[in-house]
Amino acid sequence: MPAFTVPTIDISAWVGPGSPDARAAVVAAVDHACRTVGFMQVVGHGIPDAVISELTEGLDEFFALPLPAKKAYVRPASENRGYSPPKSESLSYSLGVDPVTRMNDFFEAFNVGTSAAEYPGSTATEADYAENTWPAETRVFEPAVRAYYDEARRVAHTLTRIFASALRVPDDFFDGVTDHSIDVLRMNNYALPPGEIELGAELTGMGEHTDFGLVTVLWADQVAGLQVLGQDGSWNDVSPARGALLVNLGDVAARLTNDRWMSTLHRVKPPVVNGTIERRRSAAFFHDGNADAVIAPLPHFVSDEAPALYDPVTVREHITAKLAGSRAGRKNVSAEREAARVVAASRV
């Protein structure tokens, strides 16, 4: 099997004017990456450097607050908004896999997302599209996060246009799946003050998991930590190239394509060097799809030789089961295929 690589793809032909040949080349490259890796590095995405610079300034501003101040922004797990303290989650539970300790992911995070008010006239309700909480103690955080959120959402929409072409469905196919999409930006911090955590064998940065929705657009520091599962069952270090975004598929994409496209397992190892935690920040934009969209394999990916691997499920049902695992500590028993891959990888 060839060495594990995450391909770099320039999508500028789809961001701005591009010739039919240039766009077709992007489609072919994206389709190949989705079939073989489930991850890609995207350049030519058009997000200004200044927007990313301001985002990092905003992240530093919020995560530097004292822990009690940040804990004031903890929200109910079902809302998927606000602050998550260290060791309050276990992503492995979203797949029904037991972590070494019950809630052992040591990152801290802050989530914002699209609210029901932004989708007037749709079926969106506050139960699935909660209002955001913004920290009152910060000055840069909210405007910087809002600006980056809009850019990341634009990139996600560009990718779904490319996906439609690659999957041989109508150009507007994903409009019906994402016109009131559950979109969430999760900002993660892996640098914690000394003494707040105990370094040890049970320490996990972020446990093995697949992403829940259609596609994830990730900005991250160029610091070691992210690992992606290869088809041979090996864990492989992945770090973004300068100026690139890491893009990976989620479970919705795998279900739509009957696993022709890969919702690849990944994890984050603690960025610990000689017993010291090195600074690592990331911001993952999850473009998940409409809460009430019914997801099932597309007909042209199902045949007598390739029967449907998944029963129809709404995006709401799927995300609820996975969130109940990662944030409420209840095993997700409906992710048998992904859980089997985690167990197999642990034996390598």
pLDDT in tens, 56-111: 999 999 999 999 999 999 998 888 899 998 866 554 444 444 444 444 556 789 99
Three-state SS at 43? strand
136 within 8 A of 144, measured Cβ to Cβ:
no
Angstrom distance (rounded) from CA 169 to CA 288: 19
Cα distance from N-terminal residue to C-terminal residue, the chain: 15
306 within 8 A of 197, measured Cβ to Cβ:
no
Q: Give the closest residue to 177 by CA, choosing from 255, 264, 265.
A: 255
List beta partners, residue 180: none
pLDDT in tens, 107-132: 789 999 999 999 999 999 999 999 99
pLDDT at 29 over 50: yes
pLDDT in tens, 290-317: 999 999 999 999 999 999 999 999 999 9
The strand order across the sheet containing 266-268 reads 206-209, 266-268, 226-229, 235-237
Q: pTM for the full model?
A: 0.86
DSSP per-residue letters across 252-303:
HHHHHTTTSS----EEE---EETTEEPP-EEEEEEEEEETT-EE---GGG--
Q: Domains of the chain, with CATH numbers?
A: 47-346 (2.60.120.330)
- pLDDT band at 201; cut points 50, 70, 90: very low
Q: What is the mean pLDDT of residues 173-201?
A: 77
- How far is it between the farthest Cα atoms of the chain? 59
Residue 44's pLDDT is 97
